[in-house]
Amino acid sequence: MRYASKKGAGIAFRTLTAEQIKEIHSASCRILNEVGVIVHHDEAAELLKKAGAYTDAGGRTYLSDALVEWAIRTAPSRVTIYNRLGAPAMFLEDSNAYFGTGSDTLMYIDPAGGERRPWNREDVAAAVRLVDNLPQLDFVMSMGLLSDVDKRMIYREQYALMLKNSVKPQVIIAEDRSTVDDIFAMAAAVAGGKEKLMHQPLFALYTEPTSPLQLPFESVDKLLAAAEYKIPVNFACGALAGASTPVTVAGTVAQANAEALCGLVIHQLKNPGAPFLYGYGDSPLDMRTMQAIYAVPHALLLQGSLCDLARFYALPSWGYAGCSSSKMCDEQAVIEATMFTLMGALQGCNLMHDVFYIESGYTGSVELLVLTNEVISRVRNMLQGVDTSPEYMAVEAVKRVGPGGNFLGDEHTARHFRETWQPDLSDFNSYDAWAAAGAKSMGQRAREKARQIMATHQPVPVSAEAEQEIERILRDAEKRLCV
Amino acid sequence: MSKYQELANAVIKGDTQQVKQITQQMLDAGEQPLAIINEGLIQGLNEVGIRFKEGEMFVPEMMMAAQAMKGGVELVKPLMAGTDMPTAGTVVIGTVKGDLHDIGKNLVIMMMESSGFNVVDLGVDVPVDKFIQAVKDHKPQVVGMSALLTTTMPVMKEVINALDKENLRSAVKVVIGGAPVSKEYADEIGADGYAGDAVVATEMCKQLLN
Ligand code: B12
């Protein structure tokens, strides 16, 4: 797909000026030079030391600009992620925009009765099938935290469910390196072996620092595993502005950028040229309720800034879309999710996750997922921009029709009308036709659609051998972990 | 305006410099240390609490006020030898093993400290035996545990079991919190209290100790 924003002309939104980008880069470098980070991982600390980073007696490690800029140059500027059938599915480069769900919400809202309850395996499988079916969703994350499996098996079981119920690429969460190993093995079983998977990644891994400026052992361990296996990986600060980062947008960007760059340096030292996704997010701390709030204007500005920085660094970008702080899929949820989705696309964020999050990530709404599918469809149509070639300028058609005529009967209309955006759920009927069809709200139609797809959609199955192998990996892990 | 009122106002404004200045003036003028604390500094903080509840003030302002009060208390403290500093009690708190989320826990700590609790922070990723050791060392009235991950919630139960085993359970009140935790879960594992936010957490601890 071609996007106007990709060409830098047409519809595109830039948040920072060229000067501001450099100012932020400098501020982040100053943080790495003057404040330093704490690296809770011996191998990573050793890699940094060998590369010339300085660690003081108090255990803080300071990075030089030369090292940071080396890593930025070494990492690839484009990353391609493949689907389960081996076809390239997401080209993470320039301003291409891709969307997917979020992981690990605690509560599921059943689109049938509206009941709010913890997720079980059936729910996650059905929700993943829904993502598989929705044409505007490009990748899947685990969506729900499984309440019906042993806690030590959650991330592995989630991955097996994602693999089996969708062909789309995944972004994964894992608690530690051994989980990444098992997930990699499961993916290899469907992708045709580990070597091939290293060449054609089927999933990306989400890791993060603990802000401010700490690199916990498990995160770094996973980051190093990703470098080794060439799994595309981020090192994304989940900021709570006002608590874990400065309360201002610029301050949050400067610190989160420093943290991401520090992750990048370690990652590139481990395996120069391994694919890295640059990004982070902010759910500012609400100073009255003490909640982490999603999708507020601050968060959108932060994302615009990081997208501009990503293009400056020539790294693929990672961000958010389609999420909300609202407790239910209501007007607030739609306002917040839609603003984030539209802005993210205009900002040219490559990989946007958390579509379907409500209650700041504690609950997942398949209704919002279906609604956002429609929003993305509208947005993508807009991203194509305006074609001003002679055929589209249509002077010839205007001549043909002339003053007082009608374009409905003209060949130009017949040729191009299908290019205009077509609704899936939005209602364009007359009042009477709408009333005759049951006078349903958009929300009702979205819930019905979700239910219908979840009940009927059959994803392309994984092969019998792959399924056996996945089962074996799960049961082995269970034996190791759950004694 | 009385000097006490002036001092309380400076606390409300969160102006540490001014609080220190007025406190010093009052001490020099021979005011009673305990009165300075109770009728000036704490008065100010109580007013902040009321304004917070009414939605006029926000958490950062509350923090600044608590800091300002601390500045005053530090000047008064050395002169209070013999009389006990009023403290609401000692709390040992930490985020349980396997869990690194500490923003919520830290807010609880700040809020408790500004309400007069003496808080011992064990940090994040705290193993069971570290909680037990801290209870032995600090003899707190309250043990607080935070967990943000479903996978780490069971550690709370382990800590309670260990307290039982060491015959320490009846010596402390156990309170828990964190987003996936609930009142039901607290009951299920035999904790004494659950709170959904830092303000409620602090009030609950005060009630439990009464
Ligand atoms: C910030 C954040 C992080 C930061 C933490 C930084 C830090 N220093 O704490 C980072 C990026 C490190 C992180 C990592 C992970 N996170 Co996280 N994170 C969050 C996020 C966005 C906000 C949490 C927060 O700080 N909230 C604000 C504070 C103020 O609220 P609070 O913690 O609930 O605290 C209040 C009350 O609960 C109560 N309280 C808290 N503690 C206590 C204690 C007592 C005694 C009492 C009485 C009261 C009390 O008072 C507090 C103040 O009012 C949440 C999502 C969300 N919307 O909340 C996810 C979330 C908690 N994380 C989640 C996950 C899955 C992870 C990871 C596993 C992801 C990964 N890719 O690896 C890792 C795990 C790391 C680890 N081992 O702990 C899930 C948890 C799902 C679950 N229940 O299992 C959530 C819900 C997001 C999601 N849906 O996926 N995360």
Reported as a pLDDT band with limits 50, 70 and 90, residue A6 is: very low
Pick the range with the lowest mean pLDDT from A181-185, A253-257, A476-480, B70-74: B70-74
User: Cβ of A151 and B179 within 8 Å?
Assistant: no
Q: Which residue has the tokens 């370690």?
A: A266
Across residues A17-23, what is the average pLDDT? 97
Do B74 and B151 share a domain, yes or no? Answer: no
What residues of chain B lie within 8 A of the CB of A287, using their CB? Answer: 58-60
**DSSP letters along A139-179, please?**
BB---B-BSSS-GGGHHHHHHHHHHHH--S-EEE--SSHHH
Structural domains of chain A, ranges and CATH numbers in brackets: 1-385+425-483 (3.20.20.480), 393-419 (no CATH)
Do B59 and B134 share a domain, yes or no? Answer: no
User: Cβ of B151 and A216 within 8 Å?
Assistant: no
Domain boundary among the residues B80, B110, B134 is at: B80
User: Cβ of B197 and A362 within 8 Å?
Assistant: no
What ipTM did this prediction achieve?
Answer: 0.79
pLDDT in the model for residue B85? 66
Across the interface, which of B103, B104, B154 has its CB nearest the CB of A151?
B154
The Å distance, Cα A152 to ligand 1 centre, comes to: 18
pLDDT in the model for residue B83? 66
Domain boundary among the residues B35, B61, B80 is at: B80
Across residues A237-253, what is the average pLDDT? 97
Reported as a pLDDT band with limits 50, 70 and 90, residue A11 is: low
pLDDT in the model for residue A73? 98
Which DSSP category does A301 fall into? Answer: H
Do B148 and B73 share a domain, yes or no? Answer: no
Q: What is the pLDDT of residues A29-67, one digit of tens each?
A: 999 999 999 999 999 999 999 999 999 999 999 999 999
Reported as a pLDDT band with limits 50, 70 and 90, residue A5 is: very low
Question: Which residues, other chains included, contact A421 with Cβ-Cβ below 8 Å and sequence gap of 6+?
Answer: A377, A378, A381
Q: What is the pLDDT of residues A426-438, one digit of tens each?
A: 999 999 999 999 9
Walking along chain B (210 residues) 10 residues at a time, the average pLDDT comes out as: 94 96 96 92 89 90 90 88 74 95 90 86 96 97 96 95 96 95 96 92 92
Do B109 and B65 share a domain, yes or no? Answer: no
Residue span of the structural domain in which B180 resides = 89-209
Q: What is the pLDDT of residues A79-116, one digit of tens each?
A: 999 999 999 999 999 899 999 999 999 999 999 889 99
Q: Can you give the length of chain A in residues? A: 483
pLDDT in the model for residue A8? 42
Residue A9 has pLDDT above 60, yes or no: no
Residue A4 has pLDDT above 60, yes or no: no
Do B149 and B128 share a domain, yes or no? Answer: yes
List alpha helices for chain B, DSSP H. 3-13, 16-28, 33-35, 42-53, 59-76, 103-114, 128-138, 154-165, 183-189, 198-209
Residue A474 has pLDDT above 90, yes or no: yes
Here the tokens at position A359 are 């209650």
**Gap between the Cα atoms of B26 and A407, Å rounded:** 87
User: A216 near B100, Cβ under 8 Å?
Assistant: yes
Instruction: Give the CATH number, domain containing residue B105.
Output: 3.40.50.280
pLDDT in the model for residue B82? 63
Do B76 and B105 share a domain, yes or no? Answer: no
The atom of ligand 1 lying closest to the CA of B199 is 53
**CA closest to A144 among chain B residues:** B150
Across the interface, which of B55, B100, B150 has its CB nearest the CB of A288?
B55
Do B21 and B107 share a domain, yes or no? Answer: no
pLDDT in the model for residue A2? 45
- Give the closest-approach CA distance of A106 to chain B in angstroms: 8
Here the tokens at position A39 are 């690296």
Across residues A296-319, what is the average pLDDT? 97
Instruction: Give the CATH number, domain containing residue B30.
Output: 1.10.1240.10
**Gap between the Cα atoms of B75 and B7, Å rounded:** 13
The answer, yes or no, to whether the previous bond of B127 is cis (omega within 30 of 0) is no
Query: For all residues of chain A together, what is the average pLDDT?
Result: 95
Across residues A337-360, what is the average pLDDT? 97
What residues of chain A lie within 8 A of the CB of B59, using their CB? Answer: 285, 287-288, 290
Do B49 and B121 share a domain, yes or no? Answer: no
Residue having the nearest C-alpha atom to atom 48 of ligand 1: B177
Which DSSP category does A358 fall into? Answer: E
Ligand 1, residues at Cβ distance < 6 Å:
A 103-106, 145, 173, 206, 208, 210-211, 238, 240, 244, 283, 290, 292, 360-362; B 98-105, 107-108, 144-146, 148-151, 175-180, 195-198, 201
The Å distance, Cα A359 to ligand 1 centre, comes to: 13
Burial string for A125-157 (b: 16+ CB within 10 Å, else e) reads bbbbbbbbbbebbbbbbbbbbbbebebebbbbb
**Can you give the pTM of this predicted structure?**
0.91
**Gap between the Cα atoms of A389 and A393, Å rounded:** 6
Q: What is the pLDDT of residues A115-167, one digit of tens each?
A: 999 999 999 999 999 999 999 999 999 999 999 999 899 999 999 999 999 99
